[in-house]
């Protein structure tokens, strides 16, 4: 019976360049290098005169994670293949991350080529839970994958919201200036929420919604009641969680990179007084966790406002 996965081997053209990528760009721990030659090597690879440089690297995870083995055949030299997911071979080497979006941004910024943006998958009906995944390439074009359990994302989100709630309570305690409190609320949400490009308030004034304190690009100042996501949330007095703003008729675009949006009404003394509006450049950014914790944030704002 097989005991474990001992290592995952990748054939590379230039070992030094690949070690630099896996160690310095991806952040794996370098375990060392060895040289393989002689009759056993020739027999093992069924190639006369065969010799290879072999390096091992390991993710900084649990001890059960198998190392990555990088092989550079110094003789005969490997030919360059075009790796593809759509041919029979080992399809990819998949790494796990606690923050796939941060890693995606970091690696993209370093010039790493990705096949797509991170995508969400719900495999709960098959017993595998939710995940977020993306494919990318190493310097030889070998296909790598990065995956994050979506359940982790929601747990991390919730932990950050707990901190946001504490900080908002601290900052607003004893302070009665509404403008200052809303400005700090926007700044605190910007600090603790990931992948958002706009967060702020529209206040009900002169039968319109008028731009209040916010963080993000300059935005439309006045919104008619019933217009856009904000005006709709205000008029219906209900949370609007829009997974794709391009599919929302009448959406008012303030920042062209926005792809999803959540708007929560703020009720003071029995009347809707404002909305909290948050935009994200990611599709379907806002989940039940966001609705739950943002409602808690709105409750704090309602209490200090009243």
Binding site for ligand SME (CB under 6 A): 198, 219-220, 223, 228-231, 251-252, 254, 261, 277, 279
The side-by-side arrangement of strands in the sheet containing 93-96 is 93-96, 143-149, 130-137, 119-122
- Taking the complex as a whole, the smallest distance from the CB of residue 265 to ligand SME amounts, in Å, to 13
Residue located via tokens 């790494």: 95
Q: How far apart are CA 306 and CA 14, in angstroms?
A: 66
CA geometry: angle 206, 208, 211, nearest 5 deg = 105
Closer Cβ to ligand SME, 145 or 224, answer by number:
224
- Taking the complex as a whole, the smallest distance from the CB of residue 273 to ligand SME amounts, in Å, to 17
The side-by-side arrangement of strands in the sheet containing 29-36 is 8-11, 68-75, 51-58, 29-36
- Give the residue closest to ligand SME by C-beta: 228
Closer Cβ to ligand SME, 50 or 193, answer by number:
193
Residue 233 burial (CB < 10 Å; 0-12/13-18/19+)? Answer: buried
- Taking the complex as a whole, the smallest distance from the CB of residue 107 to ligand SME amounts, in Å, to 29
Closer Cβ to ligand SME, 213 or 228, answer by number:
228
Asked if 275 and 215 touch (Cβ cutoff 8 Å), the reply is no
Q: Which phi-psi region, left, alpha or beta, contains residue 49 (left: φ > 0; alpha: ψ -120 to 50)?
A: left
Closer Cβ to ligand SME, 104 or 201, answer by number:
201
- Taking the complex as a whole, the smallest distance from the CB of residue 211 to ligand SME amounts, in Å, to 8
Closer Cβ to ligand SME, 148 or 215, answer by number:
215
- Taking the complex as a whole, the smallest distance from the CB of residue 239 to ligand SME amounts, in Å, to 13
């Amino acid at each position: 019976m097989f005991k474990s996965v001992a290592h995952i081997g990748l054939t590379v053209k230039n070992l030094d360049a690949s070690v630099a990528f896996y160690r310095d760009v991806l952040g794996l721990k370098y375990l060392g290098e060895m040289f393989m030659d002689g009759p056993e090597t020739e027999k093992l690879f069924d190639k006369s005169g065969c010799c290879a440089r072999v390096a091992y690297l390991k993710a900084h995870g649990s001890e059960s994670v198998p190392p990555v083995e990088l092989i550079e055949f110094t003789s005969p030299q490997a030919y360059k293949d075009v790796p593809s997911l759509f041919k029979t071979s080992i399809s990819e080497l998949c790494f796990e991350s606690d923050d796939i979006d941060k890693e995606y941004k970091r690696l993209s910024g370093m010039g790493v080529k990705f096949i797509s943006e991170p995508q969400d998958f719900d495999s709960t009906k098959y017993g595998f839970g939710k995940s977020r995944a993306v494919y990318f390439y190493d310097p030889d074009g070998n296909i790598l994958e990065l995956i994050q359990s979506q359940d982790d994302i929601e747990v991390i989100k919730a932990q950050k919201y707990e901190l946001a709630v504490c900080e908002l309570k601290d900052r607003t305690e004893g302070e009665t200036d509404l403008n200052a409190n809303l400005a700090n609320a926007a700044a605190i949400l910007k600090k603790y929420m990931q992948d958002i490009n706009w967060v702020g308030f529209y206040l009900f004034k002169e039968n319109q919604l008028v731009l209040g304190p916010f963080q993000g690009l300059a935005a439309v100042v006045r919104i008619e009641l019933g217009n856009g996501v904000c005006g709709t949330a205000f008029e219906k007095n209900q949370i609007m969680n829009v997974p794709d703003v391009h599919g929302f008729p009448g959406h008012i675009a303030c920042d062209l990179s926005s792809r999803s949006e959540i708007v929560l009404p703020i009720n003071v003394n029995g009347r809707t007084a404002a909305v909290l509006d948050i935009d994200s450049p990611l599709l379907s950014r806002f989940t039940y966790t966001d609705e739950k914790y943002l409602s808690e944030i709105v409750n704090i704002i309602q209490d200090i406002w009243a």
